[in-house]
C-alpha cells in the first residue's frame, strides 16, 4: 500500500503543488493528470525517492520510503523520461545491465524473449544509437515483462513514441500487473485502451 | 549482493573498450605533457633528473583530471544514474565499481608507461619501481577523490572547470607524498615512509570516498 500525505514540491524557488494526499491499494492503476509543468514528473520522482519532498511523507506499507530504502527499491520499478540506454550497447546488453543494476539476476535467454515479445527481434545485435525513438522506448519497456515481482510500477509517459499496436499491448501488460495485485502509477497525455478506466489524480487541483 | 558491482564493472570496461580512442587520448595527453618539459626547461640531464618525479606526477594528475568529468556525465544524461540510484543494492558498491573501471582504464595505463617516460627524463633506474609503485598507490586516490568532485559538479554549467578548482587542492597531499617517494628513493634515503603514507591515504579514501560520492550523486540528481 502506498500512502502520500500532505506532499509539497519546490522546484527552484517556485512551489509547484502542496497538500497532495493519496492512498493507493494493491490492484490500482492511477493516472497522474494535469497540464504541462504542473509537476507530474516531479510527483513521480518524489514517490520513487529520487527527489526530496519540501514537506510531507511518502509511505510504503506504512513505513517512510527513506527509512528502508533498499526494501522499497526492491519492490519498485521506475521508468523515467530518459530511456537509460547507452548508445554503444545493444538492446540485449542494455536490458541485461538494467536488470542487474536494479539487483535482479536475469538470464540472457529470458531477456532475449522479452525483447522479442516487445518487437525488437531484428534489432537484438544492433547498437542502440541506430534505433528509432519508438524502438529505444521499447528497450526500456521490455523491463516490464521481467519485473512482475516488483509491486509498484511508476512510469513517466510510457506511451510516448509508440505505435498503436504497442500501446494496446502495453496497456494490457499494465492491466495484467494490476490484476495480479500490483500497482501502477503513470503519466500520459494519450487515451490508452485500458480494460478498466484508471483512477485519475489531477495534480492541477493541488497547484499553488 | 555483488551482482550490481560486477554488472557495472563489466559494462564500464566494455564501454571503455568500444570507445577506446577516449582512453588513448588520456594516455597520449600524459605522454605529450611529459615530453614538453625538456623543450621548456632545456635538455640538461641533471636538471631533468631533478624535476622528473614532479613532472611525471603532475602530468599523471592532469591526465586523471582530464577524463574525470566523463565518469558520471553520460550516465547522468541518459538516465542510467537514476536507475542505479534506485537499485536495491547499496550505492557504495556500484560507485566503487565505476571508480575501479575508471582507474583500470585511465590510471593503470599511466602507471604502465610512466617508467618508460622516466627513462626519457634520465631518472635513476633504481627509482623506477618506486615510481611505478607510488603511482599505483596514488592514482586510485586521485580517482576516488575525483569521483566525489565529479559527482558534486554533475549537471552544473561549466562543471569541468569547477571540478578542477574543487579537486586540485585535494590532490596536493597525494602529489607531495607521491613525488616525494620517488625523490627520496633517488637521493638514497628510502621511500618506505612516503609509500606507507600513500597506502594509508588509499585505505582511507577507499573507505570514505564511495560514501561521499553516493551522497553527492543523490544530491545532484535531486
**Span B61-102, pLDDT tens digits:** 999 999 998 899 999 999 999 999 999 889 999 999 999 999
Residue A116 has pLDDT above 80, yes or no: yes
Q: What is the pLDDT of residue A106?
A: 86
Q: What is the pLDDT of residue B198?
A: 96
**Among all chains, which residue has been given the C-alpha cell 549482493?**
B1
Q: What is the pLDDT of residue A103?
A: 86
pLDDT band at A60 (very low <50, low <70, confident <90, very high): very high
Question: Are the beta carbons of A84 and A136 closer than 8 angstroms?
Answer: no
Q: What is the pLDDT of residue B29?
A: 96
Q: Does B90 touch chain A (CB under 8 A)?
A: yes
Mean pLDDT for all residues in chain A? 90
How many domains is chain B partitioned into structurally?
1
pLDDT band at B221 (very low <50, low <70, confident <90, very high): confident
Residue A184 has pLDDT above 80, yes or no: yes
Q: Does B1 touch chain A (CB under 8 A)?
A: no
Q: What is the pLDDT of residue B182?
A: 94
Q: What is the pLDDT of residue A1?
A: 87
The residues pairing with A187 across neighbouring beta strands, listed in sequence order, are A32, A156
- For A23, A28, A151, B42, the CA distances from A1, given in Å and listed in that order, are 7, 10, 10, 73
Beta strands across the sheet bearing A152-156: A76-79, A152-156, A183-187, A29-33, A199-202
What residue of B is the nearest CA neighbor of A65? B86
- Of the residues A42, A80, A97, the best mutation for testing chain B's interface (the one with the most B CB atoms within 10 Å of its CB) is A97
Q: Does B92 touch chain A (CB under 8 A)?
A: no
- Of the residues B3, B11, B83, the best mutation for testing chain A's interface (the one with the most A CB atoms within 10 Å of its CB) is B83
- Of the residues B7, B21, B74, B222, the best mutation for testing chain A's interface (the one with the most A CB atoms within 10 Å of its CB) is B7
In this prediction, residues A177-203 reach a mean pLDDT of: 88
In this prediction, residues A17-23 reach a mean pLDDT of: 92
Q: Which of A179, A117, A108 is nearest to A142 (CA)?
A: A117
The answer to whether the CB atoms of B83 and A81 lie below 8 A apart is no
Residue A81 has pLDDT above 80, yes or no: yes
Grid coordinates representing B72 are 558520471
Determine the 3-state secondary structure of A54 from DSSP: coil
Nearest CB partner across the interface for A103, out of B15, B82, B87: B87
B35/chain A closest Cα distance in angstroms = 34
pLDDT band at A37 (very low <50, low <70, confident <90, very high): confident
Q: Of A161-170, B49-58, B82-91, where does mean pLDDT reach its minimum?
A: A161-170
The whole-model pTM stands at 0.92
- For A36, A142, B35, B91, the CA distances from A183, given in Å and listed in that order, are 24, 18, 62, 26
Tell me the pairing of strands A183-187 and A199-202.
unpaired
Rounded CA-CA distance B34/B26 in Å is 13
Residue A115 has pLDDT above 80, yes or no: yes
* Residue pLDDT, tens place only, B205-218: 999 999 999 999 99
Domain of B169, in residue numbers: 2-221
Mean pLDDT for all residues in chain B? 93
The answer to whether the CB atoms of A73 and B19 lie below 8 A apart is no
Question: Are the beta carbons of A65 and A72 closer than 8 angstroms?
Answer: yes
Residue A192 has pLDDT above 80, yes or no: no
A70/chain B closest Cα distance in angstroms = 5
In this prediction, residues B101-120 reach a mean pLDDT of: 95
The residues pairing with A184 across neighbouring beta strands, listed in sequence order, are A29, A153
Cβ count near B51 (within 10 Å): 16
HSE-up of residue B20 (Cα within 13 Å, Cβ side): 4
Nearest CB partner across the interface for A82, out of B11, B78, B94: B78
Grid coordinates representing B219 are 544530491
Q: Classify residue A198 by its DSSP letter.
A: P
Residue B1 has pLDDT above 80, yes or no: no
* Residue pLDDT, tens place only, B149-158: 999 999 888 7
A91/chain B closest Cα distance in angstroms = 13
ipTM surpassing 0.85: yes
In this prediction, residues B154-183 reach a mean pLDDT of: 91
Q: What is the pLDDT of residue A195?
A: 79
Question: Are the beta carbons of B205 and B173 closer than 8 angstroms?
Answer: no
Q: Which of A25, A29, A38 is nearest to A192 (CA)?
A: A29
Amino acid at each position: 500500500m502506498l500512502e502520500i500525505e500532505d506532499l509539497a514540491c519546490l522546484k527552484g524557488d517556485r512551489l509547484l503543488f502542496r497538500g497532495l494526499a493519496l492512498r493507493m491499494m494493491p490492484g490500482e492503476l492511477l493516472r497522474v493528470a494535469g497540464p504541462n509543468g504542473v509537476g507530474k514528473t516531479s510527483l513521480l520522482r518524489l514517490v520513487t525517492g529520487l527527489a526530496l519532498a519540501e514537506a510531507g511523507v511518502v509511505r510504503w506499507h506504512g513505513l517512510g520510503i527513506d527509512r528502508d530504502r533498499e526494501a522499497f527499491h526492491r519492490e519498485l520499478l521506475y521508468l523515467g523520461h530518459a530511456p537509460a540506454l547507452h548508445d554503444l550497447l545493444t538492446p540485449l546488453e542494455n536490458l541485461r545491465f538494467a536488470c542487474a543494476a536494479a539487483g535482479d539476476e536475469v538470464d540472457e535467454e529470458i531477456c532475449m524473449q522479452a525483447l522479442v515479445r516487445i518487437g525488437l527481434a531484428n534489432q537484438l545485435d544492433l547498437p542502440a544509437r541506430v534505433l528509432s525513438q519508438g524502438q529505444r522506448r521499447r528497450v526500456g519497456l521490455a523491463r516490464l515483462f521481467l519485473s512482475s515481482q516488483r509491486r509498484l510500477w511508476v512510469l513517466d509517459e510510457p506511451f510516448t513514441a509508440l505505435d498503436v499496436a504497442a500501446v494496446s499491448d502495453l496497456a494490457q501488460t499494465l492491466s495484467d500487473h494490476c490484476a495480479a495485485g500490483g500497482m501502477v502509477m503513470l503519466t500520459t497525455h494519450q487515451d490508452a485502451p485500458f480494460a478498466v478506466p484508471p483512477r485519475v489524480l489531477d495534480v492541477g487541483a493541488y497547484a499553488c | 549482493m555483488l551482482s550490481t558491482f560486477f554488472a557495472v564493472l563489466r559494462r564500464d570496461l566494455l564501454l571503455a573498450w568500444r570507445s577506446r580512442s577516449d582512453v588513448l587520448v588520456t594516455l597520449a595527453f600524459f605522454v605529450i605533457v611529459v615530453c614538453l618539459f625538456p623543450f621548456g626547461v632545456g635538455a640538461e640531464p641533471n636538471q631533468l633528473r631533478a624535476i622528473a618525479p614532479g613532472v611525471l606526477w603532475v602530468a599523471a594528475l592532469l591526465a586523471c583530471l582530464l577524463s574525470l568529468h566523463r565518469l558520471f556525465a553520460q550516465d547522468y544524461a541518459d538516465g542510467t544514474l537514476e536507475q542505479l540510484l534506485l537499485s536495491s543494492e547499496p550505492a557504495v558498491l556500484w560507485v566503487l565499481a565505476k571508480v575501479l573501471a575508471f582507474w583500470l582504464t585511465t590510471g593503470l595505463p599511466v602507471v604502465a608507461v610512466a617508467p618508460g617516460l622516466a627513462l626519457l627524463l634520465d631518472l635513476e633506474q633504481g627509482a623506477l619501481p618506486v615510481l611505478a609503485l607510488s603511482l599505483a598507490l596514488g592514482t586510485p586516490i586521485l580517482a576516488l577523490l575525483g569521483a566525489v568532485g565529479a559527482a558534486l559538479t554533475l549537471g552544473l554549467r561549466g562543471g569541468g572547470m569547477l571540478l578542477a578548482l574543487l579537486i586540485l587542492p585535494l590532490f596536493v597531499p597525494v602529489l607531495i607524498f607521491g613525488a616525494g617517494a620517488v625523490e627520496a628513493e633517488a637521493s638514497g634515503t628510502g621511500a618506505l615512509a612516503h609509500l606507507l603514507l600513500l597506502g594509508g591515504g588509499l585505505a582511507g579514501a577507499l573507505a570514505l570516498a564511495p560514501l561521499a560520492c553516493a551522497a553527492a550523486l543523490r544530491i545532484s540528481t535531486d
